[in-house]
Amino acid sequence: MRAKIKINFAAMEAQKKRNIRDLSREELMEFFAEHKVKAFRAKQVEEWLWKKSARSFEAMTNLSLDTRSLLEANFELPAVSVADQQRSNDGTVKNAFRLADGKITEGVLIPASDRMTACISSQVGCSLACKFCATGKLKLARNIRFDEIYDQVAILKEQAEEFYQKPLSNIVYMGMGEPLLNYSQMLKSVERITSTDGLGMSPKRITVSTAGIAKLIKRLGDDEVKFNLALSLHAANDEKRSKIMPINDQNNLEILAEALKHFYNKTGTRITFEYIIFKDFNDEIEDARELAEFCKHVPCKINIIEYNPIDDGEFQQADPKKVDAFAAYLESRNLIVNVRRSRGKDIDAACGQLANKNKAVVSN
């Protein structure tokens, strides 16, 4: 009779190395104390991880070889890498980021004369299925951890300095996924990016964009976050918005308005409304009037975004004259309006195009 093999799963789990970026400085100090290593090494390791963005133990060159070997033996440091990179004619840089488990997400560096912006992802794929978005046609694979979000920023920061000799100035959570459905990891990533012990960026230079999950917008207010909030609105009419954004069925405009008021009252931060303008769908003056009425709920500004077609061709870019007339109407109502022209369209890096024509993303 074949002998039964007992598997000690608890022992196997105990042998699994812990991600070192999950440790606090106090935990690092305790680890070094147990191994009779001087306590100040904990601060050095923390600086390598969060200030210098080291993505391997080998890179921590002011630690002795013995100390690096000790870390290697006890911890893992899973890091994001660039699987593929494309550069647009306008200077935009699109990256396919490979996560430690092999899954692919995307991030974009967007250079401009007055700023250098990193557009980063919070999920691999997306569950919200917005009709106009390439990412929305993918299934949600998983949330992205806080350290993986941090790595995206660190890599794009390095690219800004390497390619343009300029510092990264702005961060937008507008890549793949819905940031508020990865709430805790998103907040933790912001903490690391803005901390003086991290990248030290101002939270006022960070914008988190949501498709509109009312209870989580309220939670942001209750948490009194310091970063900016953008709502992907795209129609100030429930019937139209539900046609392109199924999430509106549970989070209609009335519910969203209440949540936005709560957020503003708690934070004092003006909301940004993102409005992608589609040909013969939401580009009429009546649509602009509805938008102006919705804007009465909270202090806000409006970004009118040129549509970037994806493969299915369901929506088309609005006529530039209509876009200008739309913007002019809003300005006549004393609203702050910016018309955003697309960047990186030739490499499918523009708004709504992430994952478009990217086999690496679709296959994971």
pLDDT at position 309 is 79
| Residue-range domains of the chain with CATH | 9-76 (1.10.150.530), 81-362 (3.20.20.70)
The size of the chain, in residues, is 364
* Higher-scoring residue by pLDDT: 341, 188: 188
Provide, rounded to the nearest whole percent, the portion of the chain with pLDDT above 90.
83
Q: How far apart are CA 52 and CA 44, in angstroms?
A: 10
| Confidence check: pLDDT of 163 > 80 | yes
CA 231: distance to chain centroid? 14
pLDDT at position 354 is 47
For 333-359, the pLDDT digits (tens) are 999 999 987 655 554 544 544 454 444
For 73-91, the pLDDT digits (tens) are 999 999 999 999 999 888 9
Q: What is the DSSP letter of 273?
A: E
Tell me which of 28-37, 82-91, 128-137 is least confident: 128-137
pLDDT at position 360 is 41
- Which of 119, 133, 295, 351 is an active site residue? 351
Active site residue 295: no
* Band of residue 364 on the pLDDT scale cut at 50, 70, 90: very low
pLDDT at position 105 is 96
Which of 246, 299, 23 lies closest to 132, judged by CA? 246
| Confidence check: pLDDT of 174 > 50 | yes
pLDDT at position 22 is 98
- Which of 106, 178, 274, 306 is an active site residue? 106
CA 218: distance to chain centroid? 19
| Confidence check: pLDDT of 188 > 60 | yes
pLDDT at position 345 is 56
pTM (predicted TM-score): 0.89
For 46-56, the pLDDT digits (tens) are 999 999 999 99
288 contacts: CB under 8 Å, gap ≥ 6? 326, 329, 330
Active site residue 133: no
pLDDT at position 343 is 58
* DSSP strand pairing (104-111 vs 116-119): antiparallel
Give backbone dihedrals phi and psi of 256, rounded to 5 degrees, phi first. -65, -40
For 233-286, the pLDDT digits (tens) are 999 999 999 999 999 999 999 999 999 999 999 999 999 999 999 999 999 999
pLDDT at position 161 is 97
| Confidence check: pLDDT of 147 > 70 | yes
The mean pLDDT of the chain is 91
Q: How far is residue 263 from each of residues 63, 171, 205, 213, 227, measured CA to CA in Å?
A: 45, 20, 18, 12, 12
Phi/psi class of residue 334: alpha, beta or left (left: φ > 0; alpha: ψ in -120 to 50)? left
Residue with tokens 């200077």: 91
* DSSP strand pairing (81-87 vs 75-76): unpaired
For 57-77, the pLDDT digits (tens) are 999 999 999 999 999 999 999
